Amino acid sequence: MRAVIHQAYGPPDAVLSVQTVASPEPKDDEVLVRVRAASMHPDVWHVIVGYPFVLRLMGNGLSKPTRRIPGTDLSGVVEAVGRNVTRLKAGDEVFGESAKFGWLNGGAYAEFAAVSQDYLALKPKNITFEQAAAVPTAGMIALQNLGGARRPPRRNVLVNGAGGCMGPIAVQIAKADGAHVTAVDCAEKLPMLQSLGADHVIDYRKEDYLRSGERYDFILDVVAIRSPREYKHALSPAGTYIPIGHAHYDNRRRRILGDMPYFVGLLMRTMLDPQKRKDFNMLKKPEAMAIFRELLESGRLTPIVGKTFSLDEVAAALQWMREGHTPGRAIITP
């Protein structure tokens, strides 16, 4: 099969190449998927370049990648199943993740991938393979930070950085939950966000969204470049502020630990708060995939595909994603 091979950590155009390699053999609890589409997200870029360095400790190799085929989000058709697989069969159209988490090379940028049956769900008939591939990692982050399977009712929600990989999914989940949603991003992405149901859109270049006088029950800050203290006056008395953190692609000061100390601190503060500790619930992949399938099938979640690229164009797709000027997701089609 043809696959993108990650030879070393470094600039994508220098360390990636397309080669012919053997197709993977599915393990007992895995299925072999003929990949029809695979999506690009910021974690893929970080794994390929190898920084922040701490991410290499997640299992992809310290000095060089031991998992050599990048990509984690995919959709396709089941070709074969392992002997312990009971949920899927050959011929099923599926979507999901090919790795335990996004900080690994998961083998999605190839013609075939071996994937755990627990990481996949049946693809709804009303969406394309390209749309389905855009959901898993970004959707998992959005859903988890919005409250998981037990999301509390919210009247007024703001999503800052709403037009990137994860923001459009967060906007649609919040709308599906009945919230009035304000979406903040650059002017080029505001029409897309309005088409997805955002009730109010703000061009951050022209308006400071924290100076409007509006108070929000929930602020999801995808960009997270301002101090959390700046958000306090924009929250309702019981409001919640959740920072996600921008990718910070080329910030040399973050090349060792990245944003890890900041988010470890947030997690510790959450665990020290009895109510937040009680409400904290880490979603499992099968649970999340079932929620995504229902949202997609009902039409309440519509992934936006911005541009498709071939396996030979993965480095170009990464650059297109980094520039971030165009609405929609970068999708790889083997």
288: in domain: no
Domain's final residue, options 279, 294, 319: 279
pTM of the model: 0.90
Q: Do 245 and 326 sit in the same domain of this protein?
A: no
Q: Do 30 and 123 sit in the same domain of this protein?
A: yes
* Phi, then psi, of 130 in degrees rounded to 5: -65, -45
287: in domain: no
Q: Do 172 and 247 sit in the same domain of this protein?
A: yes
292: in domain: no
CATH code where residue 42 lies = 3.90.180.10
Question: Which residue in this structure is represented by tokens 């309005």?
Answer: 194
Predicted local confidence at residue 69, as pLDDT: 98
Q: Do 209 and 238 sit in the same domain of this protein?
A: yes
DSSP of 65-124, one letter per residue?
-SS-S---EEEEEEEEE-TT--S--TT-EEEEESSSSTTS--S-SBSEEEEEGGGEEEPP
> For each successive 10 residues of the chain (334 residues), what is the average pLDDT?
97 97 97 98 91 79 92 98 97 95 90 97 98 96 89 92 93 97 95 96 93 91 83 90 71 57 55 53 87 97 96 96 87 96
Predicted local confidence at residue 186, as pLDDT: 93
182: in domain: yes
Q: Do 125 and 199 sit in the same domain of this protein?
A: no
Q: Do 199 and 227 sit in the same domain of this protein?
A: yes
297: in domain: no
| CA-CA-CA-CA dihedral for 50, 51, 56, 57, to nearest 10 | 170
The total of structural domains in the chain comes to 2
Predicted local confidence at residue 273, as pLDDT: 57
53: in domain: yes
**Cα distances (angstroms) measured from residue 19 to each of 111, 265, 269:** 11, 42, 46
Q: Do 168 and 268 sit in the same domain of this protein?
A: yes
Domain's final residue, options 239, 264, 279: 279
Q: Do 53 and 158 sit in the same domain of this protein?
A: no
Q: Do 115 and 167 sit in the same domain of this protein?
A: no
DSSP E strands: which ranges in the chain?
A: 2-6, 16-20, 30-39, 73-81, 93-97, 112-116, 120-122, 156-160, 180-185, 200-203, 216-221, 235-243, 305-309, 329-332
Q: Do 94 and 182 sit in the same domain of this protein?
A: no
CATH code where residue 191 lies = 3.40.50.720
Domain that holds residue 165: 148-279
Predicted local confidence at residue 326, as pLDDT: 80
Q: Do 225 and 104 sit in the same domain of this protein?
A: no
293: in domain: no
Predicted local confidence at residue 251, as pLDDT: 55
Q: Do 127 and 239 sit in the same domain of this protein?
A: no
Predicted local confidence at residue 227, as pLDDT: 80
Q: What is the Cβ-side half-sphere exposure of residue 215, based on CA atoms within 13 angstroms?
A: 7
290: in domain: no
Spatial distance between the Cα atoms of 10 and 223, rounded to a whole number of angstroms: 24
